[in-house]
Structure 1
């Protein structure tokens, strides 16, 4: 039987947050931001283990207490120059250490999406467990989209028909995702699904909601804090 594993690439610096501390460690409700994603993934009964891919030079991880997740959490300090590099390096390291099998499922999740819920996670796993390719959480685009020129003037309005905003986790078989990322090494892919698409495959879109947003700017962190506080104290 195939098992389900999660992988969080956390080797980036999060420069757009304007903070010297890497984004994944910024405080959120009294914990480093990455804690909230780890907690949701580790608490899921379907997930056998969670891999955290850190930069080889990471000096922050060890400053926090992660013992509550010790039964499921494995740290792999093989982070690369890009997100795709970190995911690929993590997959290869986990396979070399015999921590995961080629046909096991991998759910790659952003450290900067702290508001993922157990319901979203269960829906993703439930809809994709028997899928031939895999897929990702996503939300249909609701806003009007404008394409601008170099001077920030509107060049045209884009149709929203069948457009979705990709989220994470993105869930694929370990062997397939490894092969896809190796194939896309020179393609500048921005998510795992893009690498799968480059193989000519079609990942499934699993409807999510806007609460599973990515913390990118300082104001996003404040919004995430409000959401998590409300969930903890309804």
Structure 2
């Protein structure tokens, strides 16, 4: 059955990572962005969406920053302990959801998500779930073992996977448990693909970037400023 009005909808945010590629002294989800922590922006936009019932955030065992966020005491926020890998954190968060709920899994470090992208995902989701994604626009090259071009990859039908990703919570939990030791699991959709699922690709906005490197912070700040000017 496809996602429909009235079904419980929980957002899940895995936020137990340390973001080593940022090279910062604190986990990247707590880096300041336009006057707030990255995670604060992310949680705020999910908590403010009228269709989302609860938000479950999975934190690291040694997290000493979360309690300082304005959203930490929100009545619709549930905090759980995360795991060593992203998939572990998602799986542990899913244990807090009702069996009949749908899970909207979103990266902690994607603070520029718009409500209209969530709306599109909910509207277009089928029985086997859906993910936000963007079509590949650039010419794609596959490298050989020494850093040179091996061949050009046909970009037709290639998409960049984004988040949120929307699936029935029970099915997603079972897939992540069954394949929890498979290194090919890089997002929620990939776990369900191994179970034979074919989730819907829903085109999302280009400004829904993931903050991974220091330059991404400046870009995210520009996108957030543009979003404020549109309001």
Q: Same fold (TM over 0.5)?
A: yes
1:29-68 matched pairs, under 5 angstroms: 29-66=34-71
Matched position secondary structure for 1:74? strand
Structure-1 separation of matches of 2:39 and 2:188:
19
- Name 2:111's counterpart in structure 1: 114
User: Which of these residues, 193, 209, 213, is aligned with residue 213 of structure 1?
Assistant: 209
Structure-1 separation of matches of 2:229 and 2:136:
30
Structure-2 separation of matches of 1:66 and 1:183:
33
CA drift of 1:40 comes to 1.3
Runs of 5+ unmatched residues, structure 2: 1-5
CA drift of 1:122 comes to 0.8
How many corresponding residue pairs?
Answer: 224
**TM-score, normalised to structure 1's length?**
0.92
Structure-2 separation of matches of 1:165 and 1:65:
32
**TM-score, normalised to structure 2's length?**
0.94
* Structure 2 residue 190 is the aligned partner of structure 1 residue 194: yes
Structure-1 separation of matches of 2:100 and 2:128:
12
Matched position secondary structure for 2:21? helix
Asked if the contact 2:43–2:71 (Cα under 8 Å) also holds between the matched residues in 1, the reply is no
CA drift of 1:233 comes to 3.1
Structure-2 separation of matches of 1:40 and 1:62:
18
After superposing on structure 2, the runs of 4+ consecutive aligned residues of structure 1 that deviate more than 6 Å are none
- Name 2:3's counterpart in structure 1: none
- Name 1:163's counterpart in structure 2: 158
CA drift of 1:89 comes to 1.2
Runs of 5+ unmatched residues, structure 1: 95-99
Asked if the contact 2:40–2:69 (Cα under 8 Å) also holds between the matched residues in 1, the reply is no
- Name 1:81's counterpart in structure 2: 84
- Name 2:127's counterpart in structure 1: 132
Matched position secondary structure for 2:205? coil
CA drift of 1:133 comes to 1.0
Asked if the contact 2:142–2:149 (Cα under 8 Å) also holds between the matched residues in 1, the reply is yes
- Name 1:91's counterpart in structure 2: 94
Asked if the contact 2:19–2:28 (Cα under 8 Å) also holds between the matched residues in 1, the reply is yes
